Every structure is written in structure tokens, then in C-alpha cells.
Chain A
Amino acid sequence: MAKFVLILREDPATFASLSPDEMQAIVAEYQSWGQRLGEAGKMAGGEKLRDEGGRHVTAKSGTLLATDGPYAEAKEVIGGFFIVEATDYAEAETLVADCPHIRYGLIEIRQVDEMCG
């Protein structure tokens, strides 16, 4: 089994227009998706990232440069990530096929390179 990181990209404005009922429905859907993966032993972790953006740090110009980075006003932010177990990309894709997130944003799937671990 290989590990895959599911990077959850979303537009912060998308959820602002939903009604309370719609939001609760998505939470419930999300919950049952996570539970199904957990019961199948496919879920290996996941975290939500804080909304207020973070810091971008680089020393490419020779000096250390740290800037605020992506704001909530950005068109797309990374809202969080999951780590799942799958044999290959094809299976990882099947796992996210019924994740509610894909209807509101985009999921980037990246395989963890365990050769380095």
C-alpha cells in the first residue's frame, strides 16, 4: 500500500453563499465519506489548515524573505489535506470520487515518495 496526500483546494467564497441546511448536508456527507474510508482502513490522517493564510518564506534572492500569504480573498486556497492508503493513483481517484469536496473545489492527489522515508 502506498500513501497518497489529498490536497483540498477551494475558493473561500464558494461556501459563503450556501444556506445552513446545505452546509449541514455537506458536513454529513463528508462525515460518512470519512467514515467509509476509515472503516475500510484507507484513512491515514488529515488536518484542516487555518483560514487566515500563512507565511511564504524564500531565500532565493540571497536574503531571507518572508511574506504573508494566501489571504482569504485569494481565488483559491488550500483548506486542508487528507492522507489515504491506496495501491495506485487509480484507486486513490476512486476513493475521492464520492468525496463532497470535489463538487465545491478541487482535490490534488499526490503520492508520498516513500523511497526517501
Chain B
Amino acid sequence: MEETAGTLVAGLFRTQAGHLTARLARLLGPGKLDEAEEIVQSALTKALHVWPRSGIPDNPAGWLWRAARNEAVDGLRRRRFSAPVTPADLAESLADERAGMNDPRFAAELADEKLGLIFACCHPVLPLESRVALTLRSVCGLGTGQIARAFLLPEPTIGQRITRAKARLVDMKVPFAIPAGDALPERLEAVLGTLYLMFNEGVGSSDGEDLIQGDLVCDALHLARQLADHPVTGRPEAEAMAALTCLTAARLPARQDADGLPVLLADQDRSLWHKGLIAAGFRHLRASMSGPAETRWHLEAAIAAAHAMAPAWAATDRPYIVQLYDRLVHLCPGPVTLLNRAVAIAERDGPAAGLAALTPLEGDGLIARYPLFTVTKAAFLERLGDRTLAAEQLRHALDQAERIGMNQPDRRMLLLRLDRLSE
């Protein structure tokens, strides 16, 4: 107790849990994700028991690795599980004093293992929502409770999803490795789709108390950049995803006002945008143009870049953004893309044109039930001067929010706008 206690870097347990799970999964072989996680959990529990009384060790990460090594070797000796490695191999691979230090070779090994684990967790044999849950649990070290809160689902539902997904990985003998050759593009697409969903939920929660969920944003951003920076996975589409996440996340410091209310892009204080992330985003964007393909990630990144480049809202290149949306609609014609395109058209040609661009969506049962659609319509009507109809739409959007869900800051904003219209 007397010794000067070390301090803990924020997120250290979570980061090391991810690293250790990735390495153990590779060492223990396909189907052993449960065993890997169990070992990591006991190593963390050991720290929880020991550190409060002994003080925090000088190299906390190295300590966790030693604890995991002892646990793993012990498990193998007692045949609690089998593995294609001997206890001695296991001990050697996990005995790493470099954990937590800035050793580039160690970091490179870990990056390989971590990406291998992501490719398994995002395997196309798993449903998309299970991929997200499993990635957050195994790669990012989030607890089932945290994932359940992030997606506003009961904890047992998330737990079940993860258990089933792991069982499926065992059945399909999915290896924990970066896929090679022809298999890579399709598998990479599955990973990118997963990260996109994770990132979007982080940037704008579909429900709950918070507008932004920092954990999800940081994790998705970090993983996207790791994919982009890796020599095998760093294909143009991975670079595009990294650009999209960097350029979008860069705006988040300006996304909420002092009261926590959402601030629209048009009203954001651009001096608050994160310059480092914007620079990184443009580097990834340039790298994404090394191939002939134009994916949806390229187009979405280009739209984010067009906003990032504009010194002010009024100086935004609106015709170019509409063009990008036209190409995006051609590539993946979904109602959400059409809704965003209508917003871009309204910026270029005025609210009447925006309203007209929404009309084909009225018949789409799914999107027309979404509050975002109704709120957008209300904004166009308000700009056209029709306050009564706009207010009616906002009330309608509030009803929809009750049924479908909406985060509290967005809901408060809706109420404020409704108040202003009724004055």
C-alpha cells in the first residue's frame, strides 16, 4: 500500500481484453472463442482481486498477460480444453513483457490477430445484428450489458445472440484469420457493413438518453482505420470506410450545444471540428482512389469530404453533393439514401424541390413511418412558410418517435421546434 501506485490508462482493461482474446483465439484454434474469453475474464478478475491490495503494477498490461498465460497453461494442462498448441508454446506466445509498451513488431502481430478475429466475428454466415454484437463483445471488449444498453435490447437477447453466433462459428469451423485471395473482397464487405452499422448507431442513437455513443464511434473508427492501414486488408473500399468514419466523427465536437441539443450541420461552429481527424480522413480518401471501383463507401466518404472542405455552410458545393447522391442512389437505391438526396436537392434548389423529391417515398410504407422522414418534410414545409402543416408533421413525427424510438436530445429538439412553430 505504501508504494507509489501506478495509474491506469482509461480503457486499459478493455483494450487488453481485446488483444488477449484475439491472440488466444488464434492459439486455441477455431471454435475456441468461449475458452479464450473465459481465460481473459479470469485474468481481469485476478487483477481486480490483487491490485487493490498490492497496488497497481508498473506494467499493468504485462501483468494481465502473465495472468492470462498462467490461466491458459493451467487450463491446457488440466484438459479443460484442447488446443493445437502445447502448454509450452502457449506460455511462450503469451509471455509478453512488451504488452502495453510501444513495440512496433508486437503491435503489428496484434493487429494481424485482431483483424483475424474481426473477420471471424463479421463472417457472412452470421446475421448482421449478431456480427455487431459479437464484434463489440469479443474484439472491443464491451460487456453484454453495455451492448444491450447501446442497442436498447434486453441483456438476455444480446447474450443469446452472442452465444448463437459463437456456436455458428464453431459449426462452420470459421478460422480466426484474415481471408486470403478471392475470398477477401466479399468477406471485407461483410466487415465494412458491420462497422458502418456500429458507427451509425454511435453517431446518432436510435433511442435512449444519448445522442452520441462515444464507445461505438471510437471502436468503429479505430477498427476501420486498422483495416485501412493493414497491407492485406487496406483495399480501396477499406480506405473509403476509414475516410467516411474520420470525416464524420470530426464533426461530432460541434454536434451538440451546451444543453446537449443536436446542432444541424448548417448551424455548426466549424472551428470545433476535429482538424486531425479531417486531415486523416483526406489521407484515407486519397488512398481510396487507388483502384477503379467506386463503392457506396467511396460516395459516402466523398459527401462527407465535400462538407469538410466547405469553409462555411453557405459555401458548400451543393450541385456536387447532389451529383454524388445521384450516383449513390444508382448504386444502392434505398429509401434512406433517397431521403438524404431529397435534403441535398432542397439545399441546391429550395424546399419545394426537396418536397417534390420526397413524394416518391410517401408510398414506401417503411420510410414514411420513420420520424426522420416526417421531420424532414416538416422542415421543408416550414421553409415554404406553411407553419400549420409543418406543425402537424412535427406532431406526427413525435407520435412516430413514440412507436419506433428516438433518442432524448432529438426528441427535445422536436418539441422545441414545435413550440416555436406554435408561437
Contact = CB atoms under 8 A, between A and B. Distances in A.
Given A16-B41, A80-B49, A24 B12 contact: yes
Given A38-B1, A38-B2, A45-B1, A19 B56 contact: no
Contacts of A46: 1, 53
B143 A22 contact: yes
B14 interface: yes
Nearest to A99: B52
A51 interface: yes
B51 A20 contact: no
Interface string B277-319: 0000000000000000000000000000000000000000000
A34 B4 CA distance: 12
A16 to B, nearest CB: 6
Contacts of A5: none
12 contacts: A15-B49, A20-B44, A27-B47, A27-B48, A27-B52, A30-B51, A31-B52, A34-B52, A48-B49, A48-B53, A80-B49, A82-B53
B13 A24 contact: yes
A53 interface: no
B127 interface: no
A48 B55 CA distance: 11
B41 to A, nearest CB: 6
Given A27-B56, A38-B2, A19 B48 contact: no
Interface string A12-40: 00011011111110111011001100100
Contacts of B44: 20, 23
Interface in A76-91: 79-80, 82
Nearest to A27: B51
B141 A20 contact: yes
Nearest to B45: A15
Contacts of B8: 24, 27-28, 31
Counting chain A CB atoms within 10 Å of each CB, which of B16, B50, B142 scores highest?
Answer: B50
Interface string B50-71: 1111101000000000000000
Residues of B in contact with A, size category: 20 to 34
A47 interface: yes
B45 A35 contact: no
Counting chain B CB atoms within 10 Å of each CB, which of A27, A28, A30 scores highest?
Answer: A27
A28 B14 CA distance: 14
Nearest to A81: B53
A46 B55 CA distance: 11
Nearest to A48: B53
B393 to A, nearest CB: 41
A117 to B, nearest CB: 21
A43 interface: yes
Interface in B129-183: 141-146
Given A30-B51, A48-B54, A80-B53, A23 B2 contact: no
Contacts of A51: 46, 49
Contact of A31 (B14, B45, B56): B56
Interface string B1-21: 110010010011110110000
Question: Can you list the 9 inter-chain pairs with the closest CB atoms, starting with the nearest?
Answer: A19-B143, A30-B52, A20-B13, A24-B13, A48-B53, A20-B17, A20-B14, A20-B141, A15-B45
B243 to A, nearest CB: 29
B409 to A, nearest CB: 23
Counting chain A CB atoms within 10 Å of each CB, which of B45, B141, B142 scores highest?
Answer: B45
Contact of B1 (A16, A27, A43, A79): A43
A96 B12 CA distance: 27
A38 B50 CA distance: 17
Interface string A35-63: 10010000101111001000000000000
Contacts of A23: 13, 44-45, 47-48
Counting chain A CB atoms within 10 Å of each CB, which of B16, B47, B52, B53 scores highest?
Answer: B52
B51 A21 contact: no
Interface in B381-420: none
Contacts of A47: 53
Contacts of A27: 8, 13, 47-48, 51-52, 56
Contact of B5 (A15, A19, A35, A43): A35
Contacts of A19: 14, 141-146
